[in-house]
Chain A
Amino acid sequence: MLTPPATFRIEPPRPWKSLNIAELWRFRELLYFLIWRDIKVRYKQTVLGASWAVLQPAATTLMFTVFFGQLGGMSRHVSGSYALYVYVAMQPWTFFGNAVTSAANSLVGSSHLISKVYFPRLLVPLAAIGSGLIDFAVGFGLTLVLMVYYQVRPTPAILTVPVLLAATIVVAAGAGILLSALIVAYRDFRYVVTFLVQLWFFATPVAYPLEIIPARWQLLYSLNPMVGIVSGFRAAILGVDFPVTAVMVSFLSGLVLLLLGVGYFLRVERRFADII
């Protein structure tokens, strides 16, 4: 049973409370089940199933190859195939974009659970993020195939992929958790999410290389945590120079975002059942 064993006191919420890690740990199986449900239901309801994980980034890549690469002349800034260049960056980005969007809407979508059962509410946005990992795995599999096709020789940098993926989860959790709580409190944030993710995409070097940003702005630019992650990911796969500074700055700002998101979430969490 998952409620604390000894005496537990229920009392009016304090304005600030700290994260109860022990409780989150006790409920880890529920997190697993929520992720498992999302994946199962999604594949039962879609015809193409896992192939969406490939089709979505592939279609976007094609679009960008035509519009940015050819018409926009962006392919001149890239050595090797522009399509591969974009597709590799699309991997962490697609995962991130989907994770943020579904995490943001997850709480409102689970209002039924929230008003009937107790569990740490943080599990809801976290589960929404977790269920995207399958798609990421499928997409990454295709990346490996493309590496063979384009004869890209893997460098030791490829070992940083798990770290970069973990960082993507941290950033997606930060943004997703923050937005999910904001949407419960203020419904109009729903409309902000789509727009925000779109804007974030263009502020991230997916369709263009990090290097086209002037050097003196790079540090500021890397405050967008996805900058370091996406360009780091690309470097890890394609073996180009690893942008160490950008990655470090982005990791730090990603952590700050996570703290911010969790902090706000915990502040409003207790009121969820009353306002959802």
Chain B
Amino acid sequence: MDVPVISVQGLGKRYAIGRRSATETTFRDALGELFTAPVRRFRDLAGADNGETEFWALRDVSFDVQPGDVVGIVGRNGAGKSTLLKILSRITPPTEGYADLRGRVSSLLEVGTGFHPELSGRENIFLNGAILGMYRSEIKRKFDAIVEFAELEQFIDTPVKRYSSGMFVRLAFSVAAHLDPEILIVDEVLSVGDIHFRNRSLGRMRDLYEQGRTVLFCSHDMTSIRQLCTRAMLLERGRVEMEGSPDDVTRRYEKSSKSLGGSSGIGERLDAPGGYHLQRVELRNDAGHPTDSFDAGQTMEIHLWSSGRAPGDSYTVELKLLSSEDRVISFGAANPVRATYYRATDSHYVCRLGPLPLTEGEYALNFSIGPWNAARWDFWDRAVRFSVEKCDLFNTGYSISSVRDGDFVLPQEWWATSDS
């Protein structure tokens, strides 16, 4: 047997969540931390609840990949697929364990990373190529092939901001498809673009592994996993649940996502603070089934449960919708919308949301509960994640993706008019 190209041992990644936001740390917080940290450590030892929790996005993951393998990684949102790929791409470090990579690695976690709208197609090919790790001489050599593959000969000197989203994706994928690594790490990028181009991209991937390259490939699309991969791996809650042939693994995944209707789309709060708090959330589709995947245009029903008796009457539940980059993109609340106020005895709250105007991509919801215009009693950050699998609101056969076209599609009508 060959020496494995990738060997992963006990890999784990821990995030600290709760208490303070990770993005907007101010220096004052850090100074404050100097004084509060010793006290908190002491309380930790004493077993006191401090509101900060750890979250293992990945834990005890071990596997080997042989040269020439094309490994498909499947799993629900939040199962740790992206974290695994990010660690292997050296974007974020693991908290424990290690991974040995033997060979040149290229990773493609997104198409068009670093594209600049003001620059022309030609300029972006060079820029993006360099960002993905190509040398200038290499890009020059492959330039014509890239342009030809993207079918953009005519527009190559047009600024990318004038491109349609289809053109953009074609150009971006084309650059990536001409990478020439020994190990290629790909995240979900094949799910964008029109069918015709998608098939050509898959063909290009197949060429790569026929040349004996090793590919790590992560997707929600079971068909392409079955077509492309030689092996597959199912991740669940940050652990390797199953490893085997693509057929077995995808079958198991499809089975689990259907029969586990009870557990998908549900967030159980493991790190709940003491006292009254939000405990559980479930997303249901039009048919009333719990799920975490929706299509644009469908309605979503959010069911939320709290634990314990509320500290007061006339309070409200508020939600925020987050994009895949964890930016708040929308808001909702029980009382300004319907003047719904909850009573102390309530503990099950329902919100019907939609029809969803969202584009293909991943989203998350967070919830807070408490009186309007006063300090909230509880806040549950990123309580549940869901994906919009398809967004074809105008029945064009082309799915609109958040990669390029934003997170929303506004209702619209177009016509020509004879007024001048």
Binding site for B on A (CB under 8 A): 1-13, 29-30, 32-33, 36-37, 40-41, 44-45, 112-119, 185-189, 270-271, 273-276
Contact = CB atoms under 8 A, between A and B. Distances in A.
Contact of B100 (A9, A116, A270): A9
A274 B25 contact: no
B109 A117 contact: yes
Given A33-B126, A188-B26, A117 B91 contact: yes
Interface string B1-44: 00000000000000100000011111111100000000000000
Contact of B110 (A116, A118, A186, A274): A116
Contacts of A114: 91
Contacts of B95: 12
B99 interface: yes
Contact of B116 (A13, A37, A271): A37
A1 B22 contact: no
A41 B130 contact: no
B101 A275 contact: no
A10 B99 contact: yes
Given A1-B180, A40-B123, A41-B118, A11 B101 contact: no
A273 B85 CA distance: 13
A186 B87 contact: no
Interface string B73-108: 000000000000011111111111111111111110
A1 B133 contact: yes
Contacts, number: 133
Nearest to B87: A10
B311 interface: no
A7 B101 contact: yes
B99 A9 contact: yes
Contacts of A8: 100-102, 105
Interface string B156-187: 00000000000000000000000111100000
B164 to A, nearest CB: 21
Contact of A33 (B22, B98, B100, B130): B130
A123 to B, nearest CB: 10
A10 B98 contact: yes
B25 A185 contact: yes
Interface of B: 15, 22-30, 86-107, 109-110, 113-114, 116, 118-119, 123, 126-127, 130-136, 179-182
Contacts of A116: 91, 109-110, 113
A117 B113 contact: yes
Closest 4 A/B residue pairs (Cβ): A1-B104, A186-B27, A33-B130, A2-B133
Given A188-B26, A274-B22, A10 B94 contact: yes
Contacts of A187: 23-26
Contacts of B96: 12
Contacts of B30: 185-186
A112 B113 contact: yes
A115 B91 contact: yes
A33 B115 CA distance: 12
Contact of A275 (B25, B94, B114, B179): B25
Nearest to A186: B27
A117 B15 contact: no
Contacts of B110: 116
Nearest to A31: B130
Contacts of B28: 188
A188 B27 contact: yes
Contact of A7 (B26, B91, B100, B181): B100
23 contacts: A1-B179, A3-B104, A3-B133, A8-B101, A10-B99, A11-B94, A11-B97, A11-B99, A12-B93, A12-B98, A30-B131, A33-B130, A33-B131, A33-B136, A37-B116, A41-B116, A112-B113, A186-B27, A188-B28, A271-B93, A273-B86, A273-B92, A275-B22
Nearest to A8: B101
Contact of A274 (B27, B92, B97): B92
Contacts of A44: 118-119
B114 A10 contact: no
Contacts of B181: 1, 3
B131 A117 contact: yes
B88 to A, nearest CB: 7
A267 to B, nearest CB: 13
B131 A7 contact: no
Contacts of A117: 89, 91, 107, 109, 113-114, 131-132
Given A12-B96, A29-B135, A188-B27, 13 more contacts: A2-B104, A6-B102, A7-B100, A7-B101, A8-B100, A9-B101, A12-B93, A12-B95, A33-B127, A33-B131, A44-B119, A113-B113, A274-B22
